[in-house]
Each structure stands twice: as structure tokens, then as C-alpha cells.
């Protein structure tokens, strides 16, 4: 018998509320990419925390959204819904400063989970005064029952201990199922592709980032460094020039920032080569989505 706890915990919520920032803060690694743009996360990403109280496998999910215009968007919502149905505990993340119609969608999803749920208000560092928090809390707890309510700033790392205390209280007893030194189930290739996509999302504007995806074509560990070749796939030919930029400036900036982030993550110098290719309408093509690594 053990008094340690184990379980999978889904981080759910509409886009941009800070789920990925929270995952990274909880695990202490930059596993999930973060940008100020909604719909950054496109995959289910596991972040494993092992400590004295037990082991928690947090699952970051794509933000639930109402846009259903592309096959990709429909897949993203499905990943979030499937994750919600397969975990021991759900954390519904709400931006304490701003609520939208999509929060209702996330609330509905979290409510459909058959098991305990925590309501987490994030970005409290941005609140001018906290007087409205009580009312806001009542607004949500009036619509669904939650086993705990916590107030966080994922970015400033505030309230994380409160969240963890509730998580360990609500998880079942059980032995760790992942190796203690494991942080994620994702491969280094996947994480590097995401770091490139993160920089692209940060450097490019408007609709272009949503039509981009990244594939790792080459990943070679050498004695002194790692050689990586990444392919950036755009959905429209006219986006290619924008990704490359005048005299290759944009691509150069993306490359050097992603290379630095990859070297930090992998703990070794990295040589990163980027190429750009058009694959028209990949976001609407089920076969392309499979090939490009998007879960069904
Ligand atoms: N001020 C403040 N900003 C935060 C906090 N948490 C996240 N952010 C910012 O909010 C933005 C969105 O954060 P993400 O972690 O990418 O949000 P997400 O919920 O994963 O978004 P999707 O992947 O699009 O669903 C980023 O600019 C973060 O830096 C916080 O506690 N305080
Ligand atoms: Mg995210």
C-alpha cells in the first residue's frame, strides 16, 4: 500500500487563458509553447511532476474555441474533449480579467467530466483590485459545482502551491507510473518543432501564424552539437515570402531565437537549418493533418 497520489490532470479552458504557461510553471520546464496569440497549443502535451506527495501528469490541451472552419480547428477541440474524458481531475482555467462566450464552452466541457474539478482563476497579477473576484467566483460556481477554487498567476508563479495542495487532495492514491526523471512524453524532435513554431507565431502577424506548421526533417546527435533541419509548411504560396522576409530577415530571426531556445532545452549547442514549403490547404486536408503529426 502507498499513501502517495497519482493521476492525470487536464488543464482546460478557452484559448489564451494561460494553460501552457501554467503547465510550464508547474513542471519548471519550457515544454509547451506560449504566445500572446489565441490558439497557440495544437497538441496534447504531458508535463510530469514528481515529488514527495506523489506524481501528477498534467495534460495541456488546445484552447476550446468556436471556430470550426478548418479540419484542424475541429481536431483541436476534439483533443481537448477527449482529454477531458480520460483524466482523473480537470482544472478549468479562467482569465480573471476577461471572460468570453468561449469560457461557457469550456465550462460545459469541464462539467461533462465525470470526476473532480478545480476552478482556477489565472492572471490575478493583472487585476487592479480583487474586489470583483468573489462575484466572479459565484458566477462560475453558480453554474457548476467545483471541488476547489484557486487564484493564480502562472506567469508570476503565484498560487501554484494552493493549486498543488488541491490537486494532491483530489487525486486517488497510487504509485507513480512515469520514470521520476521524465518531464514529458513528447520527443525532443516534437519539442524543437514547437519552439520553431513559437518563434514564427511571435514574429508574424494576423492570419499567417495559423496557417503554419513545422516538421523536423533531420535530427542528428553529434559529439559536440545537435544538427537539426526543420521544414516550415505554409498553407498559401503568398505566405512563403512573408515567412522568409526581406533578405531573409524574418527567417533569420526565427532561426536564431529558436536555436537558442532549443539549445537551452536540450542542454547542448544546436545547429538549426530552416526551409519553407507550401502545401496548399493542409489545414483542411485530413491526410495532410495525419502526415504533419496532428492527432485525430
Ligand atoms: N499577466 C499574466 N499573463 C499571463 C499569465 N499566464 C499567462 N499569461 C500570458 O497569457 C498569454 C497566453 O498564455 P498561454 O499560456 O499561451 O495561454 P493558453 O491558454 O495556453 O493558450 P492556447 O494555447 O492558445 O489555448 C501569454 O502572453 C502569456 O504570457 C499570468 O498569470 N499573468
Ligand atoms: Mg497553450
pLDDT in tens, 267-281: 999 999 999 999 999
CA of 280 to the centre of ligand 1 (A): 30
Report residue 102: phi and psi, to 5°: -70, -20
pLDDT in tens, 46-77: 999 999 999 999 999 999 999 888 999 999 99
Nearest to 4 by CA among 180, 175, 161: 175
Q: How many Cβ atoms sit within 10 Å of the Cβ of residue 159?
A: 20
CA of 263 to the centre of ligand 2 (A): 22
Which protein residue's CA is at the shortest distance from atom 11 of ligand 1? 36
Which protein residue's CA is at the shortest distance from atom 21 of ligand 1? 16
Interval 88-117 mean pLDDT:
96
What domains sit in the chain, N to C, each tagged with a CATH number?
5-170 (3.40.50.300), 188-291 (3.30.300.20)
pLDDT in tens, 129-160: 888 999 999 999 999 999 999 999 999 999 99
CA of 36 to the centre of ligand 1 (A): 6
Strand spans (E) along the chain: 5-12, 45-51, 54-60, 89-95, 117-122, 148-151, 212-221, 226-234, 270-278
Mean pLDDT across the chain: 95
Amino acid at each position: 500500500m502507498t499513501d502517495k497520489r497519482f493521476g492525470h490532470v487536464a488543464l482546460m479552458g478557452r484559448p489564451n487563458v494561460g494553460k501552457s504557461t501554467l503547465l510550464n510553471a508547474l513542471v519548471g520546464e519550457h515544454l509547451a509553447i506560449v504566445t500572446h496569440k489565441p490558439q497557440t497549443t495544437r497538441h496534447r502535451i504531458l508535463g510530469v511532476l514528481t515529488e514527495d506527495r506523489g506524481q501528477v501528469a498534467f495534460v495541456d490541451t488546445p484552447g476550446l474555441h468556436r471556430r470550426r472552419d478548418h479540419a484542424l480547428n475541429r481536431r483541436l477541440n476534439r483533443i481537448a474533449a477527449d482529454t477531458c474524458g480520460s483524466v482523473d481531475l480537470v482544472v478549468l482555467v479562467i482569465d480573471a480579467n476577461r471572460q468570453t462566450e468561449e469560457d461557457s464552452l469550456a465550462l460545459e466541457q469541464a462539467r461533462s467530466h465525470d470526476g473532480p474539478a478545480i476552478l482556477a482563476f489565472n492572471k490575478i497579477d493583472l487585476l487592479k483590485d480583487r474586489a470583483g473576484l468573489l462575484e466572479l467566483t459565484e458566477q462560475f460556481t453558480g453554474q457548476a459545482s467545483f471541488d476547489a477554487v484557486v487564484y493564480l498567476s502562472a506567469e508570476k508563479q503565484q498560487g501554484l502551491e494552493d493549486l498543488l495542495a488541491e490537486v494532491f487532495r483530489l487525486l486517488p492514491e497510487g504509485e507513480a507510473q512515469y520514470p521520476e526523471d521524465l518531464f514529458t512524453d513528447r520527443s525532443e524532435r516534437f519539442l524543437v518543432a514547437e519552439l520553431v513554431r513559437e518563434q514564427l507565431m511571435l514574429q508574424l502577424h494576423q492570419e499567417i501564424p495559423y496557417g503554419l506548421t513545422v516538421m523536423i526533417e533531420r535530427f542528428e546527435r553529434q559529439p559536440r552539437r545537435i544538427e537539426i533541419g526543420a521544414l516550415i509548411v505554409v498553407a498559401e504560396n503568398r505566405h512563403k515570402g512573408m515567412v522568409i522576409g526581406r533578405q531573409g530577415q524574418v527567417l533569420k530571426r526565427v532561426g536564431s531565437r529558436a536555436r537558442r531556445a532549443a539549445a537551452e532545452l536540450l542542454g547542448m549547442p544546436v545547429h538549426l537549418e530552416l526551409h519553407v514549403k507550401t502545401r496548399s490547404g493542409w489545414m483542411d486536408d485530413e491526410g495532410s493533418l495525419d502526415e504533419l503529426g496532428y492527432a485525430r
